[in-house]
Structure 1
Amino acid sequence: KGDRVAQLILEQSNTIGWVELDELKDSERSDGGFGSTGN
């Protein structure tokens, strides 16, 4: 008797601002392909 079965923790959630683009710019990171570590 008196044992805790569940606990509720509430945290503040920040809202993310989205920016819609027509196209993405090329970058050096994209040169290695998907999942590439660059090695």
Structure 2
Amino acid sequence: MQQTVAQSPVELTRAYGESSSLGNLAADALLFTAGKDTQFSAY
């Protein structure tokens, strides 16, 4: 199955050792799903 679920006006890229738009999107989705009282650490 192929289905578009979202579109982005900017390129989503990953970076190593620094903040990235793709990583920020994934973290935001996890926090949204888990609830506002959730804490997230990438380390």
Smaller-chain TM-score range? Answer: under 0.3
Q: Which structure is higher in helix share? A: 2
TM-score (normalizing by structure 1): 0.20
- Which is bigger in relative contact order (C-alpha 8 A, separation at least 6)? 2
TM-score (normalizing by structure 2): 0.20
